[in-house]
């Protein structure tokens, strides 16, 4: 099977890495360890430093300070072509005059590997494209070209494979298909994958571990489910999906539950799900955890209740409907409701209450008065707009 195809991956360690350009600092004292054989995603908005980090690992940029170690070997000052690293870019960069087989074997032949063609065929079989080995890149679809670029990188048996927004040029359906295929290929070959992306769904679908990066620093790192269910900062809570956030003083912190006064309403959060337990705190809940009810429910153990509020917007998105609810003193809150029935649960203008399980509430580590530090320079709506504009441009070009 494919597990015998590639040598095992190596771990990557960044120690005190900093990178300064004239006029600004891209990365300041970054420490990061990626275990061998893992699928690691560096996630963040444009300008956060993730691509700079990837270029430093690839040797395309020199760090201002710190060390880069691959498999325990210091490669900080090693030339790019001498590092056990290959990169797959968003642009496939295939040679148009060569066949697919020649493209994949190109690096091996330059290194004078004796069985270059045999290894190239193995790599193409890995991405299920050996049957198009004699075609040229122009005869393949975008998804096929992306898989050829992946085969060309994997065939060199790098200890570390760098993926720089590799699926950004694909349409939505193909991108989702490639996410699953990339994850399977990584498991088959056992290499260490470092994936740089601003696409939250892409990172959560493929990566074992995600590091969320913001303004040259890692805000939080962990398994996808951990980051989504227990974000530590407002930036992570709002960049990795959406969150309803509330700020208020802790009025009780006895036992296993902490109670926070939110504009006169008592909202509870489990102590173990809160980063801070005294003073002014910020707590939150994900929109899909919240239920809408049209009449005021009785207080119930284990449930938080907010309202009444008024529905100010209803947006159908296929699998769910998004409701924007204006709650006096709390602003506009978001609720995602799965479309189990035809039509909306409530219409715009309806009076509603919001309720959710206490165990779904989380507490952040942020100071309430420093929220601007965590303002994203590219929020999820901006990313969606960019995707739409890119797809429209592609359609016009076609």
Domain-embedded: residue 262: yes
If pLDDT is split at 50, 70 and 90, which confidence band does 391 have?
low
CATH number at residue 218: 3.40.50.300
Q: How far is CA 109 from the centre of its chain?
A: 36
What is the C-alpha to C-alpha distance for residues 344 and 311, in angstroms, rounded to an integer? 12
240 and 196 within one domain: no
| Angstrom distance (rounded) from CA 189 to CA 371 | 43
Is 396 domain-assigned?
no
Domain presence at residue 393: no
Same domain as 115, residue 79: yes
Sorting pLDDT into bands at 50, 70 and 90, what band is 341? confident
In a domain, 392, yes or no: no
Task: Write the pLDDT tens digit of every residue in 8-29.
Answer: 678 999 999 999 988 888 998 8
Q: Using one digit for the tens of pLDDT, what is the confidence trace for 285-311?
A: 999 999 999 988 887 888 999 989 999
Count the alpha carbons within 13 Å of 371 in the hemisphere toward its beta carbon: 11
Residue 170 has pLDDT above 80, yes or no: no
Question: 3-state class of 22 per DSSP?
Answer: coil
Closest CA relative to residue 153, chosen from 226, 58, 248: 58
In a domain, 275, yes or no: yes
Asked if 260 and 115 sit in the same domain, the reply is no
Tokens found for residue 139:
């005869």
Determine, yes or no, domain membership for 387: no
Residue 173 is predicted with a pLDDT of 74
Q: How much is the CA Rg of the chain, to the nearest whole Å? A: 24
Mark which of 184, 204, 225 sits at the end of a domain: 225
Counted domains in the chain: 2
DSSP 8-state code for residue 82: G
Per-residue tokens: 19:
């990178």
Q: What is the DSSP string of 237-304?
A: HHHSS--EEEEEEEEE--TTEEEEEETTEEEEEEGGGBS--SSEEEEEE-GGG-EEESSPPPP-TTEE
CATH number for position 336: 2.40.50.100
In a domain, 67, yes or no: yes
Q: Of 180, 196, 225, which marks where a domain is finished?
A: 225
Average pLDDT value for the chain: 85
Residue finishing a domain among 182, 197, 225: 225
Mean pLDDT of all residues in 337-346 = 77
* pLDDT at residue 392 in the model: 57
190 and 236 inside one domain? no
User: Which of helix, strand or coil describes residue 72?
Assistant: coil
User: What torsion, rounded to 10 degrees, do the Cα atoms 221, 227, 230, 236 define?
Assistant: 80
Are 170 and 240 in a shared domain? no
Residues 6+ apart with CB under 8 A from 85: 57, 58, 59, 70, 158, 159, 160, 161, 162
* Over residues 96-118, mean pLDDT: 88
Residue 240 and residue 328 in one domain: yes
How do beta strands 24-34 and 12-21 pair?
antiparallel
Specify whether 142 is located in the same domain as 27.
yes
Q: Are residues 28 and 124 in the same domain?
A: yes
Same domain, 256 and 148: no
100 with 178, same domain: the answer is yes
Residue 394 lies in a domain: no
Question: Do 207 and 306 have their domain in common?
Answer: no
Between 116-126 and 142-154, two packed helices, what is the crossing angle to 10 degrees? Answer: 130
Q: Identify the CA nearest to 185 among candidates 161, 164, 168.
A: 161
Helical (H) or strand (E) element with 53 = helix 50-58
pLDDT of residue 289: 96
Q: Which domain holds residue 315?
A: 230-382
Task: Say whether pLDDT at 169 is over 80.
Answer: no
CA 301/CA 28 separation, integer angstroms: 46
Residue 289, CA distances (Å) to 49, 244, 340, 360 in order: 32, 10, 15, 7
Residues 249 and 204 in one domain: no
Distances (CA, A) of 257 to 79, 96, 247, 333: 55, 63, 17, 23
Q: Are 378 and 47 in contact (CB under 8 A)?
A: yes
């Amino acid at each position: 099977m494919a597990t015998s195809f590639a040598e095992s991956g190596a771990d990557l360690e960044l120690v005190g890495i900093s990178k300064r350009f004239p006029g600004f600092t891209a990365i300041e004292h970054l420490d990061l360890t990626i275990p061998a054989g893992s699928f690691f995603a560096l996630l963040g908005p444009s300008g956060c430093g993730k691509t700079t980090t990837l270029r430093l690992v690839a040797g395309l940029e020199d760090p201002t300070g710190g060390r880069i170690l691959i498999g325990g070997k210091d490669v900080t000052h090693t030339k790019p072509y001498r590092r056990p690293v290959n990169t797959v870019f968003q642009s496939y960069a295939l040679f148009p005059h060569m066949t697919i087989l020649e493209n994949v074997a190109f690096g091996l032949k330059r290194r004078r590997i004796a069985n270059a063609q045999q290894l190239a065929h193995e790599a193409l079989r890995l991405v299920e494209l050996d049957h198009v080995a004699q075609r040229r890149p122009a005869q393949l679809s975008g998804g096929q070209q992306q898989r050829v670029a992946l085969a060309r990188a994997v065939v060199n048996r790098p200890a570390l494979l760098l993926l720089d927004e590799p699926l950004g040029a694909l349409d939505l359906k193909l991108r989702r298909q490639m996410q699953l295929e990339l994850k399977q290929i990584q498991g088959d070959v056992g290499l260490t994958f470092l994936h740089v992306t601003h696409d939250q769904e892409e990172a959560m679908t493929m990566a074992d571990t995600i590091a969320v990066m913001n303004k040259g620093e890692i805000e939080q790192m962990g398994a996808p489910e951990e980051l989504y269910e227990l974000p530590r900062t407002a930036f992570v809570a709002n960049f990795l999906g959406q969150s309803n956030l509330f700020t208020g003083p802790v009025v009780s912190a006895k036992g296993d539950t902490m109670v926070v006064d939110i504009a006169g309403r008592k909202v509870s959060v489990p102590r173990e799900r809160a980063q801070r337990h005294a003073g002014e705190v910020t707590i939150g809940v994900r929109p899909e955890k919240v239920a809408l009810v049209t009449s005021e429910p009785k207080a119930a153990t284990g449930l938080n209740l907010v309202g009444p509020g008024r529905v100010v917007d209803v947006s159908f998105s296929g699998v769910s409907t998004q409701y924007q609810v204006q709650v006096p003193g709390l602003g506009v809150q978001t609720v995602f409701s799965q479309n189990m029935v035809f039509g909306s649960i409530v219409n715009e203008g309806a009076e509603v209450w919001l309720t959710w399980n206490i165990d779904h509430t989380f507490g952040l580590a942020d100071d309430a008065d420093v929220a601007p530090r965590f303002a994203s320079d590219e929020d999820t709506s901006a990313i969606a707009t960019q995707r739409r504009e890119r797809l429209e441009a592609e359609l016009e070009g076609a």
